[in-house]
Amino acid sequence: MNQGLLPYTVETVAAPATVTARAGLPLVLETLRALGLDRVIAEEVRVRERQSGYTETEKVEALVLLLAAGGTCLDDIRVLAADAGLTRLLGRTLPAADTLRHFLYARHDDALLAAAQAARPPDAVAYIPAETAALQGLARVNRALVHQVAAQGHPTAATLDHDATIQESHKREALPHYQGGRGYQPAAIYWAEQDLVVADEVPGRQRARRHAQPPPPAAGLREPAPERDGGFFPRRQRRLR
């Protein structure tokens, strides 16, 4: 069997402890690295305070694996970390939940939230704070992903559906949403043909009243006038030359 991007080959072993039911997860990282996103993460995502421990790329990869496995909270990473067969295929251990939590919270800035609250009009409920440098780095990683996906199949059209969605959450900070639960309502821009979210924006409160702006188009991308989808968010279609 040809060697892939991750440090493993297929072999028969006698020890049952090295068998995993999650053998498909390494392919998620294979795809990430085949698209060159590991290099982009290393260049654009920098929040580490010291050079020891897990790299930014390893933390992002762990979060991607957690989402791909259906995890609903950071503590679910313990399930993956305890899977000896999975970590053997990956060739390394996975970060602890507290490590990932610190990594994510490093993108938070109370000063930006306060500035956005102070700047909103008196009759407004929602507010969208400016992004920290760490969040801007993640946005550049996502933009690189979109450009790489667009380059793979040379699509001729991209239908972008711009609408709000609900992310259920049981955090103390989460507020009630219109379907009766609690969570957040980010505005997402969804590329229908590629089944890919290309951009999102999370308001400071639950009701999204500002429009997230799509990322700048890739080279050769034309954008006709936007159309409405029946709600208050525009639906746009872009065509590739």
Render pLDDT for 160-211 as a digit per residue (tens, 0 to 9). 898 888 888 888 878 888 888 888 888 889 999 889 988 887 654 434 333 3
Strand order across the 175-176 sheet: 167-168, 182-184, 175-176
Domain with 25, as residue range(s), is 16-105
Secondary structure tally for the chain: helices H, strands E: 8, 9
Asked if the structure places residue 6 within a domain, the reply is: no
Give the model's confidence band at 155: pLDDT under 50 very low, under 70 low, under 90 confident, else very high: confident
Question: 134 and 97 share a domain?
Answer: no
Question: 187 and 91 share a domain?
Answer: no
Number of domains, the chain: 2
Phi first, then psi: give them for residue 69, nearest 5 degrees.
-85, -5
Question: 200 and 121 share a domain?
Answer: yes
Contact at 8 Å (CB) between 192 and 180? Answer: no
Kindly give, in sequence order, each residue whose CB lies less than 8 Å from that of residue 25, ignoring residues fewer than 6 positions away.
Answer: 65, 68, 69, 80, 86, 89
- Model confidence pLDDT, tens digit, residues 55-89: 999 999 999 999 999 998 899 999 999 999 999 99
Asked if the structure places residue 3 within a domain, the reply is: no
Question: 99 and 131 share a domain?
Answer: no
Residue ending a domain, choose from 85, 105, 125: 105
- Confidence at residue 221, expressed as pLDDT on a 0 to 100 scale: 52
Question: 175 and 188 share a domain?
Answer: yes
Residue ending a domain, choose from 90, 105, 120: 105
* Interatomic CA distance for residues 95 and 20, integer angstroms: 19
